[in-house]
Structure 1
Amino acid sequence: MKLLHTSDWHLGATLYRQSRAPDHDQVIAEITEVARAFGPDLICHTGDLFDRARPATEDITRAGHALRELASIAPVVVVCGNHDSASLLDALNLYMRISGGVQRVHFVAKVRAPQDGVLQFPTRSGHTVRLAALPFQHAHLMTDAFGDPASWGTDYLTQVRGIEAALGRALLTNFNPTTDIAVFAAHLYVGGATHSGSERGMHIDATYSTDLDTVPAVSYAAFGHLHRPQALPGRNVVGRYAGSPIALDFGEIHETKSVVLVEAEPGTPARVETVPLSAGRRLSKFHGTLEQLEAIASEIDDDLCVITVETPTHLPTLTEQVRRMLPRATLLDVSPARSDLSIDIVTADQVEVDAEPSLREMFAEFLAERGSRAASPQIVLDAFSRILGAIEEDRDPVFDEEALLTAAAPTDGAEVSA
């Protein structure tokens, strides 16, 4: 089996309001050429195809063209990430099924029931790749296909372990060790792995930390979510975070981006190779004098640049001078560091006091002043917070009370006693 693993494209991303579309076009073309040369049996994209849940039409079109081009080389599986909309990927999956011909792009938008969660793909060597996928799971989104509602109150790690164990059992059901090769694909944060700081912070905190204890016994585990390319922590599982193919912000400026090539035979450990990616504009950050900038100007080509210039006083033509020095660069920001201005040190306490309040904080203040009618202010505030979280995560809000009402409701034809 030959597998190509990529991840975290974040189509539609911007940096300082500058579109990254040109960089994505270049790096996708580079990934496609790597795929053509490698000749994989399967291509796996482990999530965050898009940068936001409601991508622009041009980004959906870009994704469609890219995936169809890759699918002309080998079947493609795309796992839903935390930035993706499961509803959109479901719609794209339906479109791929009804557009005619053999479906070559498969979107795994939501966690599937174990009996439906294993995809199978033949290889050129006559083997079969059996792939189980775990899309990103929001902490407030309950998956009833993996147990009764009584287990829904458990912590996130316990829920993920249960899903992984169930998928592992399904993956190995009727598994032929002489002809089959098992692969697990997921969009998860594994504790101990290194993040870049450009990931969505709320989805890489302690709440979302998982481990590899119940990851199925597979030849290769393809992970997405973290933007820094790296091997999975520990020695339990052979696998990698493919990482983002371009530096999405300056927290990734020193990372070597790559695509992962995997080769495996039944019953043997996978051989894993990373191929560096170089397409797309570099990110450059400079802090110094105009003279120091001029000395290195020849090293800066069409980079995306943030420039801070040390100057004794105000220079009204600062941006124009920098632009003349770096004619091909895209100047994201040019700012002076003036020695004639005093600098006030802002403490963390001041930042917290001066920071703009969140919607939750403003609503809590409103409830404190006006109160609530039907329920206590804390219950109302909790419900408001869940609704905000559901909007952020592009899903319907889930309330425990609904599950209780559903459990208490009579089945069809049952009588209700007074």
Structure 2
Amino acid sequence: MQKVLIVEDEKAISGVLHSILSDELTDYEILVAEDGLEAYKLLEKEDFALIISDIKMPKLSGTELLKQALQLKPETTFVMISGHADIDTAVTALKDGAYDFISKPIDINRLITSVRNALDRKNLVQKANTLQKENSQLKKKVSKKYQMIGNSAALSKIQDMIEKVAPSDARVLITGPNGAGKELVAHAIHAQSERSRGPMIEVNCAAIPSELIESELFGHVKGSFTGAIKDKQGKFEQANGGTIFLDEIGDMSLVAQAKVLRALQESRVSPVGSDKEIKVDVRVIAATNKDLKKEIEQGKFREDLYHRLSVIEIYVPALDERKEDIPLLIEYFSQSIADEQGNSAKIFDKKAIEALQNFSWTGNIRELRNVVERLIILGNNPVTSDDVTAFVRK
């Protein structure tokens, strides 16, 4: 239970205040200190949601208590009271950090209002600080999840391009094999852009049936097709003010491609079954493991959409093209997996790392992570080349 402290050397007044506040603040424990020194000693041991303090007191005045308490615990909230009230005293108390100042004789209604407002404000600040801390922690987790690991020339080139491209609103097409880390590039672009405070909405075009992709991207209205039991907001609208990441766009149907092209041209979308147009402000990043130029030749991908998407094109190489990054990736995965499982990270000895570098990684970084996790579970500590031979089939 949170506590409120009354600091008053006149017992008759402190008794009345204790009785009134005990009735009014049933969720708080009300304590009393007879002077500023006693109050300060209590504050050294515990926290108070609010301190209501007289100014004129023996041993340690309310003014000195306020100053010393805020040095000790800056988040402490004070309401000051005094029988020697004047404008200068009130201004000084407020400048020193008090929330409010009340003169004697005390208007009980005024006091209760001030106390409730002070506590409400403190609770709101605490909630805001908690949310800010949680949000900061979540951002760190998200940032770590999408961290690009390595110091190869190929990765350095990608990072240089991201730094140049991110501040603009240019559309980006990310190409490269499955598992190479295309989504990491997309998230890095968004995180370093002016849109980073907005949403980052991901759409896996390969995972959505062709008959549902339009509804997923642009939304639909109730009754527009069987199963449309209520209106649905599309991904483009959800990404308004931020970024939409169209992963595996090479798997999108030609019909949906035409709708995406129109959305890019006009910055407007129409939900399925509706004549209404919704204006959207969205940056588009797309990715594919396919050769879109070949797809265009075969009539599977619109050339005009390709040119709209590929203002900037970033190629993410296969892991086999940057094997010098494998030692750092192993170390990173070992630590991140240990963090997830609440264990200490396992070490991979030099010969184990060399053995892993000699493999061909057709599944790229995704495959490497899975192998590292397998070796952490089944192998020794440190993980040896014998563990690699026993548990990795290539």
Alignment TM-score, normalising by the size of structure 1: 0.22
Name the structure where helix makes up a greater proportion of residues: 2
Structure number, greater radius of gyration: 2
Q: Say which structure, 1 or 2, has more relative contact order (CA 8 Å, 6+ apart).
A: 1
Structure number with the higher strand fraction is: 1
